């Protein structure tokens, strides 16, 4: 049996001599709408910051535009460097995107590997693992609209997401640390990706 998956991946990187950036983003959205009607099942968006080639820094924004132009296409954000986010703000963005997309957006969370990005946000890269664990412990509950105690504050994100149980979230990376990070809050590991994404099977 052969498994074939028609996917698209966008990082929006482009050399300086490429076309206008606005045209590149419009083309990516058009491509998703076109591909959905021709069997595409998934669009993958990545996230990096402060790069010379203009790598996509705001995947949730692009995902929102893609979701508005499509009806069935699944969207995976991989990987989102969660220590660079505020978990409350991220939960708000995820909840609204879940409502806009009808639950079609999933997330793979990582800790990032570029020191430049941590400098970009003024975050200490040396504590990225601890930050990720702390955030992942509350993120799922926040997206579901539960009341959460976080750093001495009582927080409830509104509106809650529309998906029962929240959007699919997993932890990227094949290391033991990543597996432990996924297991503590009951998330999937990236090793589970082949069995959780929609596949077309042909005998």
pLDDT tens string 111-144: 999 999 999 999 999 999 999 999 999 999 999 9
Using CA atoms, how far residue 28 sits from 33, 38, 54, 63, in Å, is 9, 15, 14, 11
Query: pTM value?
Result: 0.87
pLDDT tens, residue by residue, 20-51: 999 999 999 999 999 999 999 999 999 999 99
Give the pLDDT of residue 197: 43
Least confident of 8-22, 140-154, 161-175: 161-175
Q: Other CB atoms closer than 10 Å to residue 29's CB: what's the count?
A: 18
Q: What is the DSSP string of 86-107?
A: -HHHHHHHHHHHHHHHTS-EEE
pLDDT score for 198: 39
d(Cα 72, Cα 15) in Å, to the nearest integer?
32
Report the greatest alpha carbon distance in the chain: 55
Domains and their CATH numbers in the chain: 6-189 (3.20.20.30)
Q: How confident is the model at residue 18 (pLDDT cuts 50, 70, 90)?
A: confident
pLDDT value at residue 172: 82
pLDDT of residue 62: 98
Task: Yes or no: say if 173 and 128 are a contact pair by the CB < 8 Å rule.
Answer: no
Query: Residues 6 or more apart from 182 whose CB is under 8 A from it?
Result: 170, 171, 188, 189
């Amino acid at each position: 049996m052969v498994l074939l998956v028609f996917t698209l991946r966008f990082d929006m990187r482009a050399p300086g001599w490429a076309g206008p950036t606005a045209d590149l983003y419009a083309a990516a959205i058009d491509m998703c709408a076109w591909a959905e009607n021709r069997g595409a099942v998934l669009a993958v968006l990545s996230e990096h910051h402060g790069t010379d080639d203009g790598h996509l820094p705001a995947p949730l924004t692009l995902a929102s535009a893609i979701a508005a132009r499509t009806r069935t296409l699944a969207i995976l954000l991989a990987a989102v460097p969660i220590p660079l986010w505020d978990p409350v703000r991220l939960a708000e963005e995820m909840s609204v995107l879940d409502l806009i997309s009808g639950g079609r957006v999933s997330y793979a969370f990582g800790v990032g590997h570029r020191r430049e990005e941590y400098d970009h946000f003024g975050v200490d890269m040396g504590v990225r693992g601890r930050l990720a664990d702390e955030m992942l412990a509350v993120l799922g509950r926040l997206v579901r609209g539960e009341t959460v105690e976080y750093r001495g504050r009582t927080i409830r994100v509104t509106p809650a997401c529309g998906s029962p149980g929240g959007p699919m979230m997993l932890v990227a990376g094949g290391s033991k640390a990543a597996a432990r990070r996924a297991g503590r809050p009951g998330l999937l590991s990236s090793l589970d990706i082949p069995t959780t994404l929609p596949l077309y099977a042909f005998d």
